[in-house]
Chain A
Amino acid sequence: MTPNPRQRRSRNIFASNMAANGVVCSSKKKIQNGKLILKEVNGKQNVFSEQAKNAQLLETKSSNGRPPKKPDRSKESFEEVPLYTAVMTYLGFYLLMFLGYINQLFFTPKVAMERNRDGYVPLFDRFESFYLRYVYRRVRDCWNQPICGVPGAEVILKDRITKDYGWTFEYTGTYTKCLNLGSYNYLGFAEATGPCAEAAAEAIKTYGCAMCSPVQELGTHPLVLELERTTARFVGTEDAIVFGMGFATNALNLPSLVSPGCLVLSDEKNHASLILGLRLSGATIKVFRHNNVSSLEKLLREAVVYGQPRTRRPWKKILIVVEGVYSMEGSVVRLPDIIRLKKKYKAYLYLDEAHSIGAMGENGRGVLDYHGCDPKDVDILMGTFTKSFASAGGYIAGSKHLINYLRVNSHAACYASAMSPPIAQQIITSMKIIMGEDGTLEGKKRIMQLARNTRYFRQRLKQMGVILYGNDDSPVVPFLVYMFSKIGAVVRTLRTRNIATVGVGFPATPLMEGRIRFCLSAAHTKEQLDKV
């Protein structure tokens, strides 16, 4: 398979061909057909959103035939919903709700009732419990599926059936081996044997399982110090600080960075942990449209020129919060543009690389590597160790000044317990492998494998004519099925064919866009992907 630079060139040439043929790929055309299938152009599918197409035309005009220095990365595609499907989705949803109401009228729910609490205000909203019981219950078996093995390329699911339409589950006692497209195992480090696992076992023998103390008291052990140094080296900054949980990293450090009187511009599709951290901080939050640089620029301009809404005093600081790869969309942030804006308007940038660290870029260093940007341009780099390093925890990296401040003032550093030694050891070993410091080419191999898998998978799916979201290079592949009940049906069907995937619907995504999400991994082989 061709390595990266050549592939980029071929894509550019193809795009210029399309432009030369005068093809206008607008999504309006699909509504005429009334079907989900894209228009076939030149035997291959390709749809560009308007912005990306313009950017591409500019790039290809200048660099036709030569491999471009900063490769064109704006290959994202977001389709609009065909009208027919939108109507059907809404209808389907209303039908479900209606059936639920009827069900509630006639049958009593077999759910736990509260005892010993007469005369108390009810604990849950009526609508919440209704939704839970009647709508969610029908598809409940798609989620929370227990596994009993390593969440690697293949995973062993514990089968369960429900005899009473989803109220309770019983385990049949059998196990099914499935191809795992649901776990966040991008570089394939979730393995039970191998250098990482052995090192982690050693760490347990040397340091025990846990430190039982908050970080600031007696929770610092040499593994944590080494991990911080290694992380800083890996990401390319001066220093880093690690925490025991990725979610807590966001939620507990944002309040120490921004306070009331600051403005935060956050992307529409930011993760719940970022939103929680921003809410706890008390700063003013403004949302800009997903990955839309012009919307961000407009908000920035207004903010700097007009200041705070009523008092017109200037903002104390402006922070832009974005993610590297968005887990529900699969899109990659437009980093060079945002850095340019940030420098112009003197804002600060917080980049959450939960999914992209280790998974994107030529050396696995995340979106900075992928876009070729300088880590010093981003003020605060945050990431988690759960996804690519097969472990747990989160980190924040940046300048020494910033990290010192966080060490003293961060909530998590002061009150939450220290990271567990075997977990820290696993991260150190896997990071060293990726950096190539252990002397083998294993890390490079894994990164290449992941990139190959991503491109191949997306290409094949597009040829089949499905709608995918997101950037061509992101290992998170959301595959849109709009209707609510279709999500459940597809997940179940795939499971009967021994493929484990994840279905996501309302309320995690907008109502219109129910989707199935595939998470690719370096551990998948071509044959496995072909099967899918």
Chain B
Amino acid sequence: MATQWIFFEIFEALNEVPFYHVLLEVGLLLWILWLIFHKSYNPKELEQLTEKEKEQLIDDWTPEPLVGNVPQNHPYLKPPTVSGKAGKYINVDGHHCLNMATHNYLGFVGNKDIEESAIKTIQKYGVGSCGPRGFYGTVDVHLDLEDRLTEFMKMEEAVVYSYGFSTIASAIPAYAKRGDVIFVDENVNFAIQKGLDASRSRIRFFKHNDMVDLERLLIEQAELDKKNPKKAQVTRRFLIVEGIYMNSGDICPLPELVELRKKYKLRIFIDESISFATLGDHGRGVTEYYNIPKEEVDMITSSMEWSLATIGGFCVGSSFVVEHQRLSGLGYCFSASLPPLLATAAITSLNIMERDPSMFKKLQTRCQLVHKALSALSSFSLQGDPDSPVKHLYLRDPPNCRETERNLLSKIVDFCIEHGVAVVIAAYLQMERFVSRDSIRVTVNNTLTDDEISNVALVFEKACSEVLH
């Protein structure tokens, strides 16, 4: 009843109202509806380009040149040519020199046994392995090599890669993903830096060999964890160091690192490219040097390209850790495997090393002698541990400009080469995270005699007096 009455009233009201009023109301209503549903003014749409304009833009656009220019006389364009073997003596650009530049620490280049075994392997397996490890590229020599490496290093399992650079650069991203934290030394080599980039984790650099700095960073991380314990439970923490740093020649303080590892629950990966087969009584590297049991370290990687005088790299560790790389190490799964002849060369080198462990002692005495001789030089400051086979020589009074420093160093290097001692300037790219000063890198191998060492020091002195004064 009430509703009917209301309708009746509305009807009456409509009849009584003047006509223009109704029209106005309806008009207003329609206008409101139109405003509500009309598409709002979108500034982006004004920019619809016509086809002609697009063609114009395409014609006008000039990209940057693909690559920039390099100065014509850049030293890297004409690196010195080595003819013949790079063994004890090396023939650089026609000069017959004592080799203190290539990383042939145990003198395996030119070893007859190794060459014999490599030639025999070619005759059995051909040269290449023609396939990645998963697809018939696993030759039985690879499996032999992995077994020998585990025996030698007294670990559980080993994985062999076909290139030293890609060993560590694939191993790191296989374990560390986005959201993890990695603590690294500043002076790590470039391959590790690339591995860190590929892993997309949060990277924290600590000052070179500085445990106080590292502890500070770890405490910071612990504070962050306290604030967010749920996230902390899924964030993995890694510590990556090198046994002997390529960029400085120092040995890492492994006992302290292991202490920190236990305290803050990190996982430690050591890149023993230089320290493998050079430190320790049997050549097992930093762990043997410091007498640390193998359970304390999660994984050890190394490249075989320096001490073992072949090409490739490997990772050893406990089965639990290393197995993972067989499926997720990019350089392992998606790349061809190591050519069999190089794998056999590595096995033969391991045989020689096991047969004759005195060569490591010999190498270490040589390193110390070279260290003594070179630290007496007047114009150079020597950086590097006495036991390390890689040492860096920096100018004592460096000029202000980097270019001049490099020029002076290269003149010194040329002088040395002409006088029978081959050394090199350490090669760096400008895009390293922390670009180091240019230096001359000296490597020690265990075939040097005392006379030769003193001769080297003399040549350096002469070079300095010639070039710097």
A469 at the interface (CB under 8 A from B): no
Among A78-86, A345-353, A356-364, A477-485, the one that faces the other chain is A345-353
The CA-CA distance from A246 to B337 in the complex, in Å, is: 11
B409-432, CB < 8 A from A: 422, 424-429
B102, B123, B143, B321 pick with most chain A CB within 10 angstroms: B102
Name the contact of B63 in the complex, choosing from A244, A280, A347 (C-beta under 8 A): A347
B197 sits at the interface (CB 8 A): yes
Chain A residue, CB-CB nearest to B131: A183
Question: B-contacting residues of A (Cβ < 8 Å)?
Answer: 111-117, 119-121, 123-124, 132, 136, 143-152, 155, 158, 180, 182-185, 189-193, 196-197, 200-201, 204-222, 225, 244-248, 251-252, 257, 271-273, 276, 279-280, 301, 304-305, 314-318, 344-348, 379-380, 384-387, 389-392, 401-402, 404-409, 411-417, 420, 422-423, 426, 500, 502
Flag if A150 contacts B126 (CB, 8 Å): yes
Residues of B within 8 Å of A404, CB to CB, are 70, 74, 77
Cβ-defined contact, B123 with A408, below 8 A: no
Kindly provide the distance from the CB of B403 to the nearest chain A CB, expressed in whole angstroms: 15
Q: With the chains together, A69 CA to B87 CA distance in Å?
A: 56
Measured between beta carbons, the chain A residues less than 8 angstroms from B237 are 121
- Pull 29 A–B residue pairs with CB atoms less than 8 Å apart, ordered by A: A115-B320, A146-B140, A147-B140, A148-B140, A151-B137, A180-B136, A183-B130, A183-B135, A190-B126, A197-B123, A200-B122, A200-B127, A208-B85, A210-B345, A217-B79, A218-B101, A218-B424, A221-B83, A225-B81, A247-B334, A272-B333, A273-B330, A273-B334, A301-B54, A301-B58, A316-B64, A390-B130, A414-B429, A417-B305
Instruction: Determine the distance from Cα of A282 to Cα of B265 in the docked complex, in whole angstroms.
Output: 32
Residue in A217, A279, A301, A314 whose Cβ sees the most chain B Cβ within 10 Å: A217
Interface-central residue, A143, A200, A247, A317, by most chain B CB under 10 Å: A247
State how many angstroms separate the Cβ of B149 from the closest Cβ of chain A: 16
Kindly list chain B residues whose C-beta atoms are within 8 Å of the C-beta of A214: 427
B134 interfacial contact with A, CB 8 Å? yes
Query: Within 8 Å CB of B61, what residues of A?
Result: 304, 314, 346
**Digit string of B192-223 for contact with A (CB within 8 Å is 1, else 0)?**
00100110000000000000000000000000
Apart from A244-B311, A402-B66, what are 19 other A-B pairs with CB-CB below 8 Å? A112-B320, A115-B320, A144-B134, A150-B126, A182-B136, A191-B126, A200-B122, A209-B115, A220-B81, A244-B163, A248-B165, A251-B166, A252-B165, A317-B63, A392-B338, A405-B69, A416-B163, A417-B165, A502-B135
Counting from the closest, the 9 A-B pairs by CB-CB distance are: A247-B335, A245-B163, A405-B67, A112-B319, A386-B336, A416-B165, A213-B102, A390-B128, A183-B130
Q: Which of B74, B140, B143, B311 has most chain A Cβ within 10 Å?
A: B311
B58 and A212 contact, CB distance less than 8 A = no
Partner of B136, one of A145, A209, A220, A344: A145
Question: For the complex, what is the distance from the CA of A507 to the CA of B212, rounded to whole Å?
Answer: 44
Judge whether A280 and B194 touch: CB under 8 Å.
yes
CB of B379 closer than 8 Å to a CB of A = no
Interface members, chain B 15-37 (any A CB < 8 Å): none
Q: Which residues from B are CB-within-8-Å of A314? A: 61
In the bound complex, do residue B102 and residue A408 qualify as a contact, i.e. CB atoms below 8 Å apart?
A: no
Which B-chain residue is minimally distant from A191 (CB atoms)? B126
Contact A216 B128 (CB under 8 A): no
CA distance A197 to B122 in the complex (A): 6
Known pairs A143-B135, A415-B191; A212 contacts B103 (CB<8 A): yes
Residue from the set B58, B123, B165, B169 with the largest chain A CB neighbour count within 10 Å: B165
Cross-interface CB contact of A412 among B125, B137, B165, cutoff 8 Å? B165
A205 to B118, CA, bound (A): 10
From residue B339, how far is it (CB to closest CB) to chain A in Å? 5
- Determine the distance from Cα of A345 to Cα of B197 in the docked complex, in whole angstroms: 32
Instruction: Judge whether A416 and B80 touch: CB under 8 Å.
Output: no
Q: Which residue of B lies closest to A216 (CB)?
A: B427
| Segment with Cβ contacts to A, from B228-236, B281-289, B350-358, B457-465 | B228-236
Q: How far is B341's CA from A404's CA once the two chains are assembled, in angstroms?
A: 32
Contact indicator per residue, chain B 283-303, by CB within 8 Å of chain A (1) or not (0): 000000000000110000001
A390 in complex: contacting residue of B54, B110, B127, B232, CB < 8 Å: B127
B118-A192 in contact (CB<8A): no
Cβ of A119 to closest chain B Cβ, rounded Å: 6
Report how far A222 CA is from B93 CA in the complex, Å.
11
**Selected contact of B336 from candidates A200, A246, A415, CB within 8 Å:** A246
Picked from A123, A213, A215, the residue with its CB within 8 Å of the CB of B101 is A213
B43 to chain A, nearest CB (A): 13
| CA–CA, A151 and B323, complex, Å | 25
- The answer to whether A152 and B64 touch across the interface, beta carbons within 8 angstroms, is no
Taking CB atoms, residues of chain A closer than 8 Å to B49 are 305
Q: Are B135 and A182 in contact (CB under 8 A)?
A: yes
A212-B165 contact in complex given A184-B131, A222-B81, C-beta closer than 8 Å: no
Given A114-B318, A210-B342, A415-B165, A392 and B81 touching (CB < 8 A)?
no
Are B127 and A422 within 8 A (Cβ)?
yes
- Minimum distance in angstroms from B164 CB to a CB of chain A: 6
CB distance from B153 to the nearest CB of A (A): 17
For the complex, what is the distance from the CA of A151 to the CA of B133, rounded to whole Å?
Answer: 13
Cβ of B469 within 8 Å of any chain A Cβ, yes or no, is no
Q: How many chain-B residues does the 8 Å CB contact rule pick out?
A: 114
What residue of chain A has the Cβ atom nearest to residue B417's Cβ?
A218
**B76 CB–A CB distance under 8 Å:** yes
Q: Are A201 and B311 in contact (CB under 8 A)?
A: no
CB distance from B70 to the nearest CB of A (A): 5
Q: Residue on A with the closest CB to B293?
A: A116
- Pairwise interchain contact B331-A247, C-beta atoms closer than 8 A: yes
Tell me whether A279 and B198 are in contact in the complex, defined as CB-CB below 8 angstroms, given that A192-B123, A414-B429 are known contacts: yes
Residue of B nearest to A386 (CB): B336
Q: Are A207 and B85 in contact (CB under 8 A)?
A: yes
Residue of A nearest to B79 (CB): A220
Q: How does the 8 Å CB contact mask read for B42-73 relative to A, with 1 for contact and 0 for none?
A: 00000001000010011001111011111000
Q: Contact check: which of A113, A197, A276 meets B126 at CB < 8 Å?
A: A197
Contact A272 B334 (CB under 8 A): yes
Complex CA–CA separation, A180 to B126 (angstroms): 15
| Contact flag A257-B67 (CB < 8 Å), given A212-B86, A248-B165, A279-B198 | yes
Residues of B within 8 A of A385 (CB): 128
Once the chains are docked, how many angstroms separate the CA of A219 from the CA of B380? 26
Contact B310 A210 (CB under 8 A): yes
Q: Is the CB of A346 within 8 A of B77?
A: no
Residues of A with C-beta under 8 A to B331? 245, 247-248
B118 contacts which chain A residues (CB < 8 A)?
A: 204, 209, 422
**A208 is contacted by which of B57, B110, B296, B319 (Cβ under 8 Å)?**
B110
For the complex, what is the distance from the CA of A152 to the CA of B115, rounded to whole Å? 24
B124 interface residue per 8 A CB criterion: yes
CB contacts under 8 Å to A, within B95-136, are 101-104, 109-110, 114-115, 118-119, 122-131, 133-136
What's the minimum C-beta distance from A195 to chain B, rounded to whole angstroms? Answer: 12
Within 8 Å CB of B58, what residues of A? 301, 304-305, 344-345
Cα distance, A191 to B109, chains bound together (Å): 26
In the complex, A272→B320 CA distance in Å? 25
B122 with A422: CB separation less than 8 A: yes
B72 to chain A, nearest CB (A): 8
Give the docked Cα–Cα distance between A182 and B131 (Å): 8
Nearest Cβ distance between residue A214 and chain B, in whole angstroms? 6
B190 touches A (CB below 8 Å): yes
If A123-B175, A426-B128, A502-B135 touch, whether A304 touches B57 (CB-CB below 8 Å) is: yes
CA distance A142 to B109 in the complex (A): 38
